Amino acid sequence: MNQIDLMKELHTFSDKKIIMLVMDGLGGLPNDEDKTELEAAYTPNMDKLARDSVLGLSTPISPGITPGSGPGHLGLFGYEPLEYQIGRGVLEALGIGLDLSPNSLAARGNFCSLDPVSGVITDRRAGRIPTEECSRLVEMLSTIQMDEVSITIRPVKDYRFALILEGDGLADDLSETDPQKTGLKPLKVEALSSNATKSARILNQWLEQAFAILADQRPANGCTLRGIAKDPGLPSFAEVYGLQACAIATYPMYKGISRLVGMEVLDAGDSIASELHTLQANWGKYDFFFFHVKKTDSAGEDGNFAEKVKVIEETDRIIPGIVDLQPDVLIITGDHSTPSSLKAHSWHELPILLYADNIRPDTLRVFGERSCMQGGLGHMRHIDIMPLAMAHADKLAKYGA
């Protein structure tokens, strides 16, 4: 039995409330003073919480594997990321705030440069055209209309755009059109199973029209489609955990992933303070609160150690406001590490703090990576976080007699 099925079977009602506070990219590596960002940050409130909590380190997927945002969050939500996958096209659409229905088919598009005579790709990213140029070209392509589907196309960033078809009978078992190297022509979309034939035909017709429209443009006179995917139809939080769940997040990507698992996405403004306000204002209405802090990751990606420290400290300052609500279970962790020294997501484990009644406390007094190495939770996996949260909230029945 996989874990999702186990949770479906065992979940039960209690009136207890769970908060999962996720600082995106929280995990770090030591700087010259042998401190990670979290260790360097002044976090009296999290440290105070640590004394009454049990700590540990959690692996997003498996040792050595660096997750993207999709798999990182699926793990946190209890969905084994190697089993439940979200297509790249869907993530791209969610990332710019587009909604998908079960009838939607989403693709990531890349503008590219073609040799005008031979038609082979000379630059797979069209010289990384600026976003404004991308917007201009997308506007041209938005004139394409087709009988069987309604079409949404939006610029993402640089040479990237999102394309969404909506209509009956669309399937996503489709090949990509990027040949992955220059000197080759863009490929056709191919149906990889018979029920995707219609989707392939429509996408190829769309591409034909798109190439005609782009023919005289420079440097982007072509495009490729990648990661063509549907909403994966994940079982919802209500179904799996029996939870009335909401998401408090400021960035489209995380709102989108939350929506894929059936969370209600609240209007949370654009700051950590406004997110706390949203939490407080909605405290009576839900029993699970996913609270997402984005800028720890952004600072890590920028290689800005001091800024990441600052965002962690800013988050620490709202902890009293969270604790005042008297959550029955409070988890603090991240979706993946983004050490400033690497300027990228990484595979390193995440510090995790579990604060609840009926924990078996360890003796640690500081929330930080090296402290968590000695924590009572040991080395765990992201997908085990939700069952632990459910258990500590009295929401899981006994397994077997």
Closest distance of CB 215 from a second copy, Å = 30
Q: Shortest CA distance to 347 belongs to which of 124, 8, 57?
A: 57
Q: Which position among 66, 131, 204, 236 is part of the footprint of a second copy (CB under 8 A)?
A: 66
Which tokens sit at 25? 């990219």
Could you give the CA distance from residue 185 to residue 203 in angstroms, rounded to a whole number? 17
Closest distance of CB 375 from a second copy, Å = 8
Residue 104: how many CB atoms within 10 A of its CB?
23
Please identify, among the stretches 77-85, 180-188, 279-287, 312-320, the one whose residues bind a second copy according to the rule CB under 8 A.
Answer: 77-85
Comparing CB distances to a second copy, the nearer of 133 and 362 is: 362
Could you give the CA distance from residue 152 to residue 242 in angstroms, rounded to a whole number? 34
Closest distance of CB 73 from a second copy, Å = 10
Which tokens sit at 73? 């969050």
Give the binding-site size for a second copy (rule: CB under 8 A). Answer: 64
345 binding a second copy? (CB under 8 A): yes
Q: Which position among 25, 67, 155, 334 is part of the footprint of a second copy (CB under 8 A)?
A: 67
The two beta strands, 18-23 and 288-293, are parallel
Q: Which position among 4, 18, 36, 220 is part of the footprint of a second copy (CB under 8 A)?
A: 36
Closest distance of CB 400 from a second copy, Å = 4
Q: Which position among 14, 30, 115, 314 is part of the footprint of a second copy (CB under 8 A)?
A: 30
CB 289 within 8 Å of CB 264: no
Q: Which position among 25, 70, 109, 300 is part of the footprint of a second copy (CB under 8 A)?
A: 70
Comparing CB distances to a second copy, the nearer of 81 and 334 is: 81
Residue 173, CA atoms < 13 Å, CB-side half-sphere: 8
- According to DSSP, the residues that pair with 278 across neighbouring strands are none
Site string for a second copy, 189-228 (x = CB under 8 A): --------------------------------------x-
Which tokens sit at 267? 């209007």
Q: Which of residues 83-122 bind a second copy (CB under 8 A)?
A: 83, 85-86, 88, 91-92
DSSP state string for 333-386: E-SSB--TTTTS-B-PPEEEEEEETT----S----SHHHHTT-TTEEEEGGGHH
SS3 195: helix
Q: Which position among 186, 292, 380, 382 is part of the footprint of a second copy (CB under 8 A)?
A: 380
Could you give the CA distance from residue 113 to residue 119 in angstroms, rounded to a whole number? 9
Comparing CB distances to a second copy, the nearer of 306 and 344 is: 344
- According to DSSP, the residues that pair with 331 across neighbouring strands are 20, 354
Q: Which residues bind a second copy (CB under 8 A)?
A: 1, 3, 6, 10, 29-30, 36, 57, 61-71, 81-83, 85-86, 88, 91-92, 227, 339, 341-342, 345-349, 358, 360-363, 369-370, 373-374, 376-380, 384, 386-392, 396-401
